[in-house]
Structure formats: C-alpha cells, structure tokens
Amino acid sequence: MLNFTSYVLHFPSYVLRFFVPLQRTYEFYKSLIMNTRLSVNINKIATIRNARGGNMPNLVQVAIDCERFGAQGITVHPRPDGRHIKYQDVYDLKKIVTTEFNIEGYPSESFMKLVLEIHPTQVTLVPDPPEALTSNAGWDTIQHAEFLTDIVNQLHREGIRASIFVNADPTMVAHAKATGTDRVELYTESYAANYTKDREAAIHDFVIAAQEAERQHIDLNAGHDLSLVNLKYFQEKIPNLKEVSIGHALICDALYLGLEETIHRYLQQLQ
C-alpha cells in the first residue's frame, strides 16, 4: 500500500506544482504551534559578506528569506570588533524582522546602549570576552549574580525578555532564577561533541539542568553546535525546550541543500 507521500508522487507534474507550496504552507503554520521554535543565527552570512566588503550576500534579504521559509526568529551576536554582525546591521534588521528578534552578546556599555535602543524581543546575555572566537562557556550565576540582576532589570524596564547563557549545571540554572531572568540558554557544545560517542551520556546533564529550569519556573532555550545530526534527539529528551538558536551548522547545510530546504529540515527535526 502506498503512503500519502508516495501516492502524491504519482500525480502529474502540473498537480505537484500546486501541491508542494500547499504542503510547505501547512508545515509553516504547524511550526507556529510547535513547542520548540527555531531562531536562525545569521552571523555566518555577515562573515561571508565582510570577507569581500560590499553587501553580498545581503544580510537583510537573508533574514527576510529565513522568515519566509519558516524560521520563527532571527538571532545575531554583534561583537565589538564587528567581525560578522555590525551594530548598523542590528538597526537595519530591526526594521524588517517580523518574528522574534534575539540579540546575543556580552552586556558591555555599548551593547546595552544598542539593545535598549533597538528593543528586540529577547536579549541573550553571554560572558564572552571581546577576543573570543565564539561562545565557549556559560555564566557563573553565583559569582556574577549582582551584575546579572542589574542587567536583567535594565532589560525588563524596557519590556525586553532576558535570557542568560549557562552551562548544563543545575546549580547555575537555580541561581539564574535569583537574577529575575525569564529564560536560560543551555550551552550545548559538550552535547554536540559527545553525541556520536554516546548520546545518552551526552544528554544526561542537560536533562538534569532542564528539570531544574522547570522547577524554578524558568523557560529554556538552547544553542551551540546543534545540527541536523543531533537536534531531534535533544528536543525529544528536553520537553520543556522553548527555542533553539542555530547558525553555523545550518548555514553549512544550506551550502549543499539551499536555505529554504535547510530550514524546512530543521523545522522537521523539531516536530
């Protein structure tokens, strides 16, 4: 017996031309009610653009297309040296992003000035020093409790949702609660690095941290090195996962699959 998809493939080509857009439309609206939302990090698009100067690829157009293809958010991480996303990019993106706009970064004076002017949906606070190549650790929410509390309060006064980047450590999650943050984002590099060796061991600490977030009534995000290889298992084991922010792997996949097909596949992993 043919399943529905196989049956459809027997339709004449002129029928398929109508069916495929309808299928994608259905999947887009289905994605809106999924528990876990996909925010596409477009830093790597800016890196490619900056390598040659000019405006190719067009960062704003890529953000528009990501949303059109089903992404439920756009993430950027403007660093002080402007190696990928520049501050002007953030102002330009604010004008066109219609889904959730998430800005990541270390809460320096210049960063806070930027986000308080932009008013994104969410600001994800990361402890990266300016010279860091990429995010490589979460906050110590005990040592930096007073500092983070002040930053979260500043964001809340402007109606901005706050998320704190943490390791998969229930103690760090529990102490994040005291800052008043709305969410924590679990740093998933260790999960991704160990997934192919022993996925049950790789996910263990994240399950514990997620359970602590639920006990503390903090919403949960995750990000760093999540991919088509490891995303579905992570989402299945972390039922209270609100959002994943994915950039590097997604853009790498898009080189082969195209951006639309890649976003479609990531959304499938979250169903």
User: Which residues touch 42 (CB under 8 Å, ≥6 apart)?
Assistant: 59, 62, 63, 66, 74, 75, 76, 85, 247, 251
User: Which residues touch 243 (CB under 8 Å, ≥6 apart)?
Assistant: 36, 37, 38, 39, 72, 73, 100, 102, 183, 221, 222
Rounded to the nearest angstrom, the gap between the alpha carbon of residue 125 and the centroid of all alpha carbons in its chain is 13
Specify the 3-state DSSP secondary structure of 73: strand
Task: Give bridge partners of residue 245 from the DSSP assignment.
Answer: 39, 223
- Candidates 77, 84, 175, 264; catalytic one: 77
The DSSP bridge pattern shows strands 73-76 and 183-187 to be unpaired
Catalytic residue check, 119: no
- Candidates 67, 84, 100, 104; catalytic one: 104
Catalytic residue check, 156: no
- Candidates 212, 224, 243, 264; catalytic one: 224
Q: Give the residue numbers marked as catalytic.
A: 77, 104, 224
